[in-house]
Structure 1
Amino acid sequence: MSKKRILYVEDDETLAFLTADNLEQHFDVTHVSNGKEAFELFCKENFDLCVLDIMLPDMDGFEIAQEIRNRNEEIPIIFISAKTMKEDRIKGLRLGADDYLVKPYSIEELILKIEIFLNRSQKKVEKSNKNHTIGTFTFEPTNYSLKNETQQITLTEREATLLNLFVENKNTVLKREKILTELWGNDDYFSGRSLDVFISRLRKIFKDETHVRIENIPRVGFKLVIE
């Protein structure tokens, strides 16, 4: 079985060498140190997942992620950065990244994250293309899309995964810990804050749907109500 292809973008030579050396034991890794070159390579070749530093020459990680998402809504993206501000993490997730690891990070954790997202992507490919009705919208999980007569919205992979989890458990309380574990593989503070961003995004999409709402169950979790 061929190894999954990882595009790894990092301009710190020492860190890149150590990280790539470890990743190559599990994956087929292509390392690039320049942002512009990385995106050009992404456009030419096929990858299964991207690991992006943020502070890069010519084109930063945020810009790369934006361009990647314009072309491919499905491929998992993991940011690794020395930028520790909450605003940077939220910006990365809003651009469609699947996770954000702060340097110095654990190689074991990075490998685990990569495996989680690759497995999730594979499961999505294997799942049947079952659509769901949510108010006036038709939700197509495999296409990450919501459509009605006036709108067509493309979700990020993480948003689609979250919404699909809600739909499959509609009118049922989902514990916050279960959601976090399903989406991020853990239930730490930063994952929790990221979840709140995605919940807010979905609520805005359904704000005009009188029979659809995402309820906050204090100290427990959330419930998608479809009447």
Structure 2
Amino acid sequence: MAEKTYILLAEDEAALGLIVKESLETRDFRVDLAEDGEKALKLATQNDYDALVLDVMMPKKDGFTLAKEVRLQDDSIPIIFLTAKSQTADVVEGFSIGGNDYLKKPFSMEELIVRIHNLVSRKKLQKNTELLEIGGYLFNFPKQTLQYRDDELVLLTHREAHLLFHLIKNKNQVLDRSLILNKLWNSDDFFAARSMDVFISKLRKKLAQDESIQIINVRGYGYKLTC
């Protein structure tokens, strides 16, 4: 029998939390439920979860703060935000601090399950991916690190690592913007596109030591990594 996907659900609305927990458990998930951010952080440090599903607005510690603290210990665990917020700045902030996806309330259980499965599957695939070279850099995709020659390792976030992986695999070719947004963000809407632009800017800075490497914005199509 396959091992169940282990999820931490942090949701302060008691009724909603129980509904989501029970719905996931009927679909062969194992779920721990936390009613506030502090309890969620304690559980996250004690257990080996496959993914975290975090409400943004919670007592004691909000979802964004919780995610920041989790990322100090684990750069790879998938994080999905549940939020009633719809402002561009809020969505971009969620991605920038290390979130992998978000769902606006109200949401369907089917969509949540698909997004969890996609993120968990991508994480498991990392274990079988070889080291990649780009210019003077060595990119360790499974460990999400980047190293220039003999310099210190630079840690990448989950989304930075996946975005760089696809750019390198399509080196000197245009990486279709809509395709990669749907693959990594599960959406190609305005909020996701803004978030992707932020991550591209971060990657440019982390690759800046090798002047032969460029990430070019091909207007109307996507991005191209050249070396």
Could you tell me the TM-score, scaled by structure 1's length? 0.93
- Residue 133 of structure 1 and its aligned partner are, at CA, apart by 2.2
In structure 2, the residue matched to 1:93 is 95
Q: Does the 8 Å CA contact 1:116/1:185 hold for their aligned counterparts?
A: no
* Whole-angstrom distance in 1 between the partners of 2:83 and 2:182: 23
3-state secondary structure, aligned to 1:142: coil
**% of aligned pairs identical?**
38
1:104-136 per-residue CA deviation (whole Å, 9 max, x = no partner) reads 2222211111111111112122x14x2222232
Q: Does the 8 Å CA contact 2:92/2:191 hold for their aligned counterparts?
A: no
In structure 2, the residue matched to 1:111 is 113
* Whole-angstrom distance in 2 between the partners of 1:132 and 1:4: 29
In structure 1, the residue matched to 2:9 is 8
Gaps of 5+ in 1: none
In structure 2, the residue matched to 1:146 is 146
Q: How many residues align?
A: 224
Code of the aligned partner of 1:138: L
In structure 1, the residue matched to 2:133 is 133
* Whole-angstrom distance in 2 between the partners of 1:186 and 1:163: 18
In structure 1, the residue matched to 2:193 is 192
**1:57-72, aligned counterparts within 5 Å?**
57-72=59-74
Q: Does the 8 Å CA contact 2:96/2:195 hold for their aligned counterparts?
A: no
Q: Does the 8 Å CA contact 1:76/1:117 hold for their aligned counterparts?
A: yes
1:43-94 per-residue CA deviation (whole Å, 9 max, x = no partner) reads 1111100000111111111121111111111110001111222111111111
Code of the aligned partner of 2:141: P
Q: Does the 8 Å CA contact 1:50/1:78 hold for their aligned counterparts?
A: yes
Could you tell me the TM-score, scaled by structure 2's length? 0.93
- Residue 182 of structure 1 and its aligned partner are, at CA, apart by 2.3
3-state secondary structure, aligned to 1:50: strand
**1:203-222, aligned counterparts within 5 Å?**
203-222=204-223
* Whole-angstrom distance in 1 between the partners of 2:25 and 2:198: 33
